[in-house]
Amino acid sequence: MDERTRSVLIDPSEPIGAALRRMDATGSGIVLVVAEDGKLLGVATDGDMRRWIIAGKAFDGPVGAAMNPRPCTIREGWVRERVEHLMAERHFECIPVLDERGRVVDAVWWHDLMEGHARRAERSTLDLPVVVMAGGRGTRLAPYTHILPKPLVPVGDKPIAQLIMDRFFEWGCHHFFLMLHHKASLVRAYFDDIAVPYAMEYTVEGEPLGTAGALSLLKGRLDTTFFLTNCDILVDADYADVVRFHRDGKHDITFVASMKHFTIPYGVCHVGEGSQLTRIVEKPASDHLVSTGMYVLEPHVLNDVPEGALFHMSDLANAYLAQGRSLGVYPVSEGSWLDMGAIDELHVMLDRLGAHDRG
């Protein structure tokens, strides 16, 4: 068994959050759930984890409860041509290889099998408009933003706003609306001076309108489902699946949310009556779903954004919840969300994208 396969073996009692962190660490999108003797009990993919979370189940639930207990497997001595056909037909990224006692001895990985030369299928062509909120001052990125507007802060050899639009373009999005305010002329000057394979429109806020308020400036200009994204994040996900989830759920807005693991770096005191210590927990950890700053919206939402007022996505969400409107949450793993909203987060993004080596 190679190291990659060994790294995705997991005990069925491990919590969902731990399984997701294992997927992020290995970049595999899958874990093989095994008993103490090495027998395969099931397989859990990032899709299984997403369905578990969408169903409202707890992060600390056991991965064994979320796994597929009847996965496709093959035996030692497998025939390459048959396995290639099976994986291509059923879109498997990985198939466990078992011995005669049902123990995992190896795994076949699609990427390795095809040696990186074949793609399973071209990405879906979404051709949906994308609104990029690019007007903030980026105060947490100072001193970079003392000189450059946040959308132009470089990540390697491109500014972050261009990386974001390039990612959407890979999924077939060709029309972008940049909502500008701080140093808007610099942003326009940069993009007017380069060649990009997509159309861009600029809208300048007279005053900062918040994370949703600038949408009021687009009333009458969007008549289809659209993406909304902050200009300091990258989300590595199946954008077509995000849209399918949004439409299947008939949601007004879908929030793309990342599973985030937090650890309090102190001993936390629990206090009872009379200020008596009841227990102390050393460095407690918890998992939460947090908004990434990427959304899918229906065009009628624009009519519910007040004009000329500071208005955030949280304000819009709370107003819709009070009205009983449909808001969806599409979960992605912690490693699928890259945020450069602060200096330390920018350095993480640079490392993850290998951009430190390029510039």
Q: Does residue 22 sit within a domain? A: yes
Domain CATH for 31:
3.10.580.10
Q: What pLDDT shows up at residue 356?
A: 46
Cα separation, 62 vs 40, whole angstroms: 16
> Between the CA of residue 88 and those of 42, 48, 253, 345, what are the distances in Å?
21, 20, 34, 37
Residue 74 phi/psi, 5° resolution? -135, 165
Read off the pLDDT band of 354 (50, 70, 90): low
Same domain? 154 vs 287: yes
- Least Cα distance to 159 among 335, 345, 355, 357 occurs for 355
Q: What's the pLDDT tens digit per position in 259-306?
A: 888 889 999 999 998 889 999 999 998 888 899 999 999 999 999 999
Same domain? 97 vs 148: no
Same domain? 169 vs 212: yes
Return the bridge partners of 202, or none.
178
Answer yes or no: is pLDDT of 359 > 60.
no
Answer yes or no: is pLDDT of 160 > 50.
yes
Q: What pLDDT shows up at residue 347?
A: 59
What is 160-214 written as a DSSP string? Answer: HHHHHHHHHHHTT--EEEEEE-TTHHHHHHHHHTS--SSEEEEEE-SS--HHHHG
Q: Does residue 282 sit within a domain? A: yes
Would you put residue 344 in left (φ > 0), alpha (ψ -120 to 50) or beta?
alpha
Last residue of a domain, one of 65, 83, 113: 113
Q: Which two tokens stand for residue 239?
A: 């954008």
Helix/strand/coil (H/E/C) assignment for every residue in 128-156: CCEEEECCCCCHHHCCHHHHCCHHHCEEC
Total of domains in the chain: 2
Q: What's the pLDDT tens digit per position in 79-114?
A: 888 888 888 888 888 999 999 999 999 999 887 776
Q: What is the longest distance spanned by two Cα atoms in the chain?
A: 72
Cα separation, 162 vs 152, whole angstroms: 8
Domain CATH for 147:
3.90.550.10
Cα separation, 163 vs 157, whole angstroms: 10
Same domain? 41 vs 93: yes
Q: Which two tokens stand for residue 331?
A: 């979960």
Cα separation, 340 vs 349, whole angstroms: 6
Residue 106 phi/psi, 5° resolution? -175, -175
For 98, the 3-state DSSP assignment is strand
Q: Does residue 39 sit within a domain? A: yes
Last residue of a domain, one of 82, 113, 144: 113
Same domain? 72 vs 157: no
Check residues 190 and 120 and name the one with the higher pLDDT.
Answer: 190
Same domain? 273 vs 138: yes
Answer yes or no: is pLDDT of 137 > 80.
no
Q: Does residue 150 sit within a domain? A: yes
Same domain? 175 vs 288: yes
Q: What's the pLDDT tens digit per position in 308-348?
A: 899 999 999 999 999 999 999 999 988 888 887 655 665 56
Residues of the chain with pLDDT > 70, as a percent, come to 90
Answer yes or no: is pLDDT of 121 > 50.
no
